Homo-oligomer: A and B are copies of this chain.
Amino acid sequence: MTVIYEKVALIGLGLIASSLAHAMKRGGLADEIVGTTRSKETRDIATSLGFCDRIEETAIAAVKDADLVILCVPVGAMAKIAAEIAPHLKVGATVSDVGSVKQAIIDAVSPHIPEGVHFVPAHPLAGTEHSGPASGFAELFDNRWCIMTPLPNQSLDAANQLEQFWRGVGSNVERMDPAHHDLVLAVTSHAPHLIAYTMVGVADDLERVTEKEVINFSAAGFRDFTRIAASDPTMWRDVFLNNKEATLEILGRFTEELFDLQRAIRRGDGDQLHEYFTRTRAIRRDILEAGQDTKEANFGRE
């Protein structure tokens, strides 16, 4: 139980913020956790759940005297919040975020950060398909990765302290250039999400297959797509709008490759298909070995 920041302010009270609060309590990482969000209803739920020591009505009140302020709002809302809280930040405080894109957030938030305040962007690669304050839990970040993209002109001490904090909530930490982060995430997250959303939309649209059939027979593989495509719409809209270039680049590669496999199917080239499917199987094995998923079989797929 080592306190890393005396007072931590969470702006936004969704899945990530509430999980952070639970994990901070578990690790004893903060003396006081203050939370805030725009919606009164969400504040009331958070109050009744009690994962924050205090819930404030405004971001301005929440950041008062805070040593660490974490922006846990959709990417598109970051700039406005940053502008709003900027004049009220304590000298020496660290501002961070949990956004899924980094360069766009740096561009949006940095101009507002006052002298004497450190801005250290971060992105925990953790989450579930659920959202809201009741969906959080302390173990969310355990053995997951948090990617930090500290800026070259910022304090190294502030970055080191934030790294200690993320390790305290259970994460592994890696530092990366923001543009490279955005490319890596386009591959491992943003393109797969758009693809899953698309496939689920296609199934929903197909008149010759009933919705009941899609639902009952989803165990055959489609089900995993629907889980991904159940993620928060606002968050994902903002991700795609703020990581356009990398996402579109990866989708371009994806389509190219898909066309090639479609052609192999059309021509009946079984060897090409078999070779491709064998190669992709090996990646799965490496992910299991890296501890980023469990070996336990996922039921009901064929």
Residue positions of A touching B, CB distance < 8 A: 76, 100, 123-130, 135, 140, 144-145, 147, 172, 174, 180, 183-185, 187-189, 191-206, 208-209, 211, 213-231, 233-234, 236-238, 240-241, 244, 247-248, 250-251, 253-255, 257-258, 261-262, 265-266, 268, 270, 273-274, 276-281, 283-287, 290, 292-293, 297-302
**B residues in contact with A257, CB < 8 Å:** 198, 201-202, 205
**B residues in contact with A250, CB < 8 Å:** 202, 206
Known: A128-B299, A200-B283. 10 other contacts (CB 8 A): A76-B270, A127-B301, A127-B302, A129-B284, A184-B217, A188-B222, A197-B261, A201-B257, A226-B293, A229-B281
**B100, A225: Cβ atoms under 8 Å?**
no
Closest B residue to A289 by beta carbon equals B215
How many copies of this chain?
A: 2
**B residues in contact with A301, CB < 8 Å:** 126-129, 227-228, 231
Closest B residue to A172 by beta carbon equals B216
Residue pairs across A and B with Cβ atoms less than 8 A apart, 12 shown, are A127-B301, A129-B297, A129-B301, A140-B300, A144-B219, A185-B217, A187-B202, A188-B213, A188-B214, A197-B261, A221-B228, A241-B265
Residue in B130, B135, B192, B265 whose beta carbon sits within 8 Å of that of A199 in the complex: B192
Residue in B227, B248, B292 whose beta carbon sits within 8 Å of that of A215 in the complex: B292
Q: Is chain A's binding surface mostly helix, strand, loop or mixed?
A: helix
Known: A227-B293, A248-B266, A258-B251. A187 touches B201 (CB 8 A): no
**B residues in contact with A279, CB < 8 Å:** 201, 204
**B residues in contact with A285, CB < 8 Å:** 230
Known: A127-B302, A199-B195, A219-B144. A283 touches B229 (CB 8 A): yes
**B residues in contact with A231, CB < 8 Å:** 277, 281, 301
Closest B residue to A137 by beta carbon equals B297
The 6 tightest CB contacts between A and B, nearest first, are: A128-B297, A189-B220, A127-B302, A230-B284, A233-B277, A200-B280
